[in-house]
A = this chain, B = another copy of it.
Amino acid sequence: MASIKDVARLAGVSVATVSRAIAIPEKVSEKTLKKVNDAVALSGYRPNLLARNFRSSRSFCIVVMVPDITNPFFSQVIKAIEDRAQQRGYAVLLGDTRDQNSREQEYVHRVETRLADGLIQLRPNEIHVDGDPLPIVYACGCENVPNCSVTIDNTLAAKKVVDYLVSLGHTRIGCLTGLRENPHSMERLAGYRQALEAAGLEYSEQYVSEGDFTLGSGQDAAKKIMCQAKPPTALFCMSDQMAMGAIQALQAQGVQIPQQVSIVGFDNIAYAEFWHPTITTVSQPAEEMGKRAVDMLVSIIEGKEFTHESKILPTQLIVRDSSGAAPKDPA
């Protein structure tokens, strides 16, 4: 593989001139520029960016850590991140961490060892890093993180969902959560409780069923929560995938949706509006969060200012066909 030396020899100039001709062509005479360009073309020279990065102590690479890339919501965010990062001159290293701390640490390590300039954390958990602070931005997470973050108000969003269900006349409102220790679950559950309280409805653990945001867990949680004496007439599901699972499981039992049970999801993934029935859900600004996270991270990396700025983006309740008025005489 041709190196800068070969080009210099071929062009009959010094390596410094070649370097300049490539980086700042306007500071090189027309004649030598041509010689260099010819030599580059002739030798098929490609600058060794490994060397350049080493010299500049920069990798122009950012890590994005995600619990599960196959979750459509995350893949949407990641697409936006990749797009923006590319525009800003950065490549994206994919860290599918499967919610495992050990995997996260490996990627954090890449930043510590300079293989990446910074990191975007999509999992709503704080990253533990001993030693110097790293350029980290949290996206799609929760509010109470020490670093920069761009997220939504999960509590408020959940509250709006339950308010809406209450306005439809529902009084027995169930909740399908992610893992209970997940910050998203906790914040949204808080919103759920607040809304119940505001409506004068009692909170009961009977009406809360734990899943893990996946479709399969939505099926299981829905089945479990519905087999009791006075089952809910509405279910607030903390992800669209769980809502899909819930709908599927209930329909399989012959339950009419929304006539007998209303279902509301969260995320507004692309499939939500094509499901049968179409799913009422909370829309998160996925692209916007991805783009902003990149911009924040890049400004930290390039400015080296560790701000604590935290941006809360608005959500929107999208009403579709999976929710409706409470049944007159619930089972």
Contact = CB atoms under 8 A, between A and B. Distances in A.
A251 interface: yes
A82 interface: yes
B131 A46 contact: yes
Interface of A: 1, 44, 46-51, 53-54, 57, 59, 61, 64, 68-70, 72, 75-76, 78-79, 82-83, 86, 91-96, 103, 106, 109-110, 112-115, 130-132, 215, 244-245, 248, 251, 270-271, 274-276
Instruction: Give the number of copies in the complex.
Output: 2
Given A76-B70, A79-B70, A48 B270 contact: no
A92 B96 CA distance: 10
A90 to B, nearest CB: 11
Contact of A96 (B50, B79, B95, B96): B79
B93 A94 contact: yes
Contacts of A113: 46-50
A255 to B, nearest CB: 14
Contact of A69 (B48, B79, B93, B112): B79
Given A93-B94, A132-B44, A215-B274, A114 B49 contact: yes
25 contacts: A1-B132, A44-B130, A44-B131, A46-B109, A46-B112, A48-B114, A49-B110, A49-B113, A49-B114, A50-B59, A53-B115, A54-B54, A61-B115, A69-B69, A70-B75, A70-B76, A75-B75, A78-B96, A83-B96, A86-B106, A91-B110, A92-B93, A92-B94, A93-B94, A271-B271
